[in-house]
Structure 1
Amino acid sequence: MAFWPVEGSQVDAAARGEAQKVTRLGKWVSVVLSAEDYQRLQHLEVANAPSLNELQPPDLPS
C-alpha cells in the first residue's frame, strides 16, 4: 500500500468516519475511508468474508 500526505476537509471528514468518494474526469474511481473503517474491512476479510475485490459495486448515482 502506498502512503502520501494529503490535507483538506475531505480527509478530515473521512477521518471522522464519513467515507469520501474520489472521482477522476467525472468517474467514481475510489473511496477515502478512515483508518478505523479500513481496519474493520481488513478484519472482515480475514474472517473469510468476501474480499473487496469479490464484491460487486452497487449501481450508485454519480
Structure 2
Amino acid sequence: MSSVWTAIGSIPWFAWIAIVAILSGSVAGIFNSWFRHRERMAMIHQGMHPDSGDGKSSVPEL
C-alpha cells in the first residue's frame, strides 16, 4: 500500500490539474447523458416523440 502512496506522491502538481480536469469532464459527461436519458424517457411517458424536434430540451446544446 505504501508503494501506491509513493506513486501518487511522485505526481507533479501540474499533472494533478490535468487529472482533475479529465475526471471532472468525464463526470459531467456521464451526468449529461443520464439527464438527457431521463428527459427522453419522460417525453416518451407523456406520449411525445422525442425525435420530432417539437419540444425544446432544458439542457442547452454545447
TM above 0.5? no
Larger of the two Rg values belongs to structure: 2
Give me the TM-score of the superposition, normalised by structure 1.
Answer: 0.32
The structure whose RCO (Cα within 8 Å, separation 6+) is larger is: 1
Higher strand share: 1
Give me the TM-score of the superposition, normalised by structure 2.
Answer: 0.32
